[in-house]
Structure 1
Amino acid sequence: MKLRVSPPVFPSRLHDPRTATSIGRWLGAAFAVCFVTGLISHYLQHPPDWLADDLPSRPVWGYRFTQGLHVASGIAAIPLLPAKLWTVYPRLFAWPPLRSVTHAMERLSVAVLVAGAVFELATGLLNTAQWYPWPFSFVPVHYAVAWLVVGALVLHLAVKAPQIRAHWTRRSPGTLALPAQEGPDRRSLLASVGAAVGAVTLTTVGQSFTPLKDFLLFAPRDPDRGPQGLPVNRTAAAAGVGRVADEEYRLVVAGPRPFTLTLDELRALPQHEAELPIACVEGWSKSACWSGVRVADLLERAGAPAHARVRVVSLQLKGGYRVSELGHEHARDPLTLLALRLNGEELDPDHGYPVRLIAPDRPGVLQTKWVGRLEVAA
């Protein structure tokens, strides 16, 4: 006698294509925004040589907006992804599991898509808290897996295009109303998911959109908490710098006409102010008033060509971002400063005392602290 195994039964009518498509629209939009803003962030942090001189320095809040949107859309996708998976998981038990080569490829693409999406959201969330419990470098792996997810998503959408089109235009039996006795209806489910998205967004987005900072409950950073009311990611002690003695400090400007300045000589130069945000890859940001010497003035004194790039070198001896490069747009922008003061006060050591770089529309990790050298690139 041959024993036949019956597949499990899923009674809820909410495991239907229409519900899956409705949530999928939201999830797709969140992933699209997250991917595009992630690309912007990656290329601002690690510009290829051909792009470095074309990175814009305006608007000054550009990176603050795109990176805040990147983190906010990623966090919004966290409740959307399990909701989407809940609507479709009964299909894992469909029989037979593989009906054709095409069906097998579809299942493989879905497996890659789900695994990659979970990986991206989990590692991205942990990055906002600066917790890295893995042996690999976060930035290149996160970037590579993002492309893998997008490729799998495009393939999945191509396979499912006819069904998506049908449900989008409401020509599917899945649009039938759900009887009350069968549990929550589609609108209740979608309202619950929407409320979850709104809740996680409202309680975290204030770290970059400061008008909502009073609603911060789950964001790892408070934009008002830190030395001089501004957060820091890397302290002077962690960088191995400590407090630099005024009489020992020298700024070396290497160019066609090289020169060296003491701290007193820097302070004696014309000082300029700029209201600019610090915006970090973890999603937090805050504007502050900086004052110091224009980088463009130092480059002119050094005889730098108009389109020259500039390497900014920190006094810290090691670290992935101890050296950053300014393309000519940023180097010649009048708002790009070697800052000596923050909100009218001398810089705290954790904010880069005695001198730090501050430039418009630039990731926080590239706003080099404890600057000791400017090098005009050939």
Structure 2
Amino acid sequence: MSRLPRAAVPWPRFTGRLHDPRTATAIGRWLGLAVLVCFLTGVLSHYVQRPPDWLADRLPSRPVWGYRVTQGLHVASGIAAVPLLFAKLWTVYPRLFVRPALRGVRHALERLSVAVLVAASLFQLFTGLLNTAQWYPWPFSFVPVHFAVAWLLAGALLLHVAVKWPEIRGHWRARSPGTLALPPEEGPDRRSLLTGAAVAVGAVTVTTIGQSFTPLKDLNLLAPRHPDHGPQGLPVNRTAAAARTESVSASAWRLTVSGPRPYALTLAELRALPQAEAELPIACVEGWSVSAHWGGVRIRDLLERAGAPPASRVRVVSLERSGAYRVMEMGAEYAEDPLTLLALRLNGQVLSPDHGFPARIIAPNRPGVWQTKWVGRLEVL
């Protein structure tokens, strides 16, 4: 080829089977659904984790399993999108070699939307998967960047669909035996490709979704967390050693509650207060979740004793010496819910250090990162 005149050097030509618009459209339907579910549940998760001030007191505490379901769907749909994205890219990559590279404004918009869409999709899935394993080999903060790129991906997807809508509409349902239909001999290959993509999606879903959908926990082979593995039978993300709270003394510990009538309680005094029980899940942003039986004192009882006015928020301060989630604010809906506890027991046992001894927060319909452990102070806001 190096001896040929420049104009005679051939570009790759793909006349083959399965690199056709109908196959791309078929896979695109599945990929679009996965991305839509992942985007919507991701936006919901972000605002539950980091609500703006006007929303903080309006976030609902019920249903108790709400965040568990939505975050489980978020991670599951993101994982399912991985094989679908690669199958989609395989069907369309020959178009990278189309010449001329730009054939007009519409074609330029199409190529721009594809470039941004592919880059954003790969970034989101790559960083999201590493987040499930709590591995962050990058210098930026994961949550705000992941959230921002999600909107970039959504915009690129809308632009791409708008530019390609005539082709998408034409190939959505092949009613004509002409150009829209595959030759008969290519039908089996196309069905095999689509079947293979479906099997891949099913395989990665079944072997990971057990981390949140516990009836399938025995098939949970690829997820980084198992719902039954960890201290007292529950996983943990941050250990007492990592938080430097493993040496908290039960006799020296005090719970300080600030408010119109501030007070402090020893662990023995806290245990002597009226106790409550609740069956609640811990649902972490990495996708794993599991229900457990918790016992402790209702947060609203502690706030009422401090003279908190109705619909008060509460700030919770951990004994951790550092960490992004050391201080947490809880809106009024959570603080007033009778199921929101300052937990002292887990499944009938005293909390282990890794689960927050001597006391931790457990609240319904709330991300695990805000179920603060090693609580040392409550502040009425």
For Structure 1 versus Structure 2, the TM-score category normalised by the shorter chain is over 0.9
Equivalent positions of 1:81-160 (< 5 A) are 81-160=85-164
Q: 2:215 aligns with which of 211, 223, 228?
A: 211
| 1:180-207, Cα deviation, whole Å (9 max, x unpaired) | 3x59521111111000000000000000
Q: 1:289 aligns with which of 273, 290, 293?
A: 293
* Residues 183 and 6 (structure 1), Cα distance of their counterparts in 2 relative to 1, 3 Å cut: farther
Give the distance between the partners of 1:175 and 1:82, measured in 2 at CA: 23
- Are the equivalent residues in 1 in contact too, given 2:109–2:163 (CA < 8 A)? no
Are residue 306 (structure 1) and residue 310 (structure 2) matched?
Answer: yes
Secondary structure of 2:29's match?
helix
Gaps of 5+ in 2: none
- Are the equivalent residues in 2 in contact too, given 1:44–1:362 (CA < 8 A)? yes
- Are the equivalent residues in 1 in contact too, given 2:110–2:164 (CA < 8 A)? no
Secondary structure of 2:53's match?
coil
Q: 2:332 aligns with which of 324, 328, 334?
A: 328
Query: How far is 1:179 from its partner?
Result: 4.0
- Are the equivalent residues in 2 in contact too, given 1:16–1:174 (CA < 8 A)? no
Match of 1:232 in 2: 236
Secondary structure of 1:50's match?
helix
Gaps of 5+ in 1: none
Match of 1:200 in 2: 204
Q: 1:345 aligns with which of 310, 328, 349?
A: 349
Give the distance between the partners of 1:30 and 1:2, measured in 2 at CA: 44
Secondary structure of 1:277's match?
strand
Give the distance between the partners of 1:124 and 1:174, measured in 2 at CA: 39
* Residues 213 and 2 (structure 1), Cα distance of their counterparts in 2 relative to 1, 3 Å cut: closer
Equivalent positions of 1:218-297 (< 5 A) are 218-297=222-301
Look up the equivalent residue of 1:233 and give its one-letter code.
N
Match of 2:41 in 1: 37
| 1:323-351, Cα deviation, whole Å (9 max, x unpaired) | 11110000000000000000000000000
Equivalent positions of 1:164-179 (< 5 A) are 164-171=168-175, 173=178, 175-179=180-184
* Residues 307 and 2 (structure 1), Cα distance of their counterparts in 2 relative to 1, 3 Å cut: closer
- Are the equivalent residues in 2 in contact too, given 1:274–1:289 (CA < 8 A)? yes
Give the distance between the partners of 1:174 and 1:116, measured in 2 at CA: 32
Look up the equivalent residue of 1:60 and give its one-letter code.
V
Secondary structure of 1:273's match?
strand
Look up the equivalent residue of 2:88 and give its one-letter code.
K
Query: How far is 1:174 from its partner?
Result: 5.2
- Are the equivalent residues in 2 in contact too, given 1:243–1:353 (CA < 8 A)? no
- Are the equivalent residues in 2 in contact too, given 1:37–1:70 (CA < 8 A)? yes
Q: 2:190 aligns with which of 186, 196, 199?
A: 186
Match of 1:371 in 2: 375
* Residues 290 and 99 (structure 1), Cα distance of their counterparts in 2 relative to 1, 3 Å cut: same
Q: 2:54 aligns with which of 32, 35, 50?
A: 50
**Number of positions where the alignment pairs a residue of Structure 1 with one of Structure 2:** 376
Look up the equivalent residue of 1:239 and give its one-letter code.
A
Look up the equivalent residue of 1:156 and give its one-letter code.
H
Query: How far is 1:113 from its partner?
Result: 0.4
Aligned-residue sequence identity (percent) comes to 73
| 1:216-240, Cα deviation, whole Å (9 max, x unpaired) | 1111111100000000000111001
Match of 1:59 in 2: 63
Query: How far is 1:102 from its partner?
Result: 2.6
Look up the equivalent residue of 1:176 and give its one-letter code.
A
Give the distance between the partners of 2:48 and 2:236, measured in 1 at CA: 20
- Are the equivalent residues in 2 in contact too, given 1:178–1:186 (CA < 8 A)? no
TM-score (norm 2): 0.96
- Are the equivalent residues in 2 in contact too, given 1:280–1:364 (CA < 8 A)? yes
TM-score (norm 1): 0.97
Query: How far is 1:177 from its partner?
Result: 3.8
Are residue 8 (structure 1) and residue 15 (structure 2) matched?
Answer: no
Secondary structure of 2:236's match?
coil
Give the distance between the partners of 1:11 and 1:160, measured in 2 at CA: 21
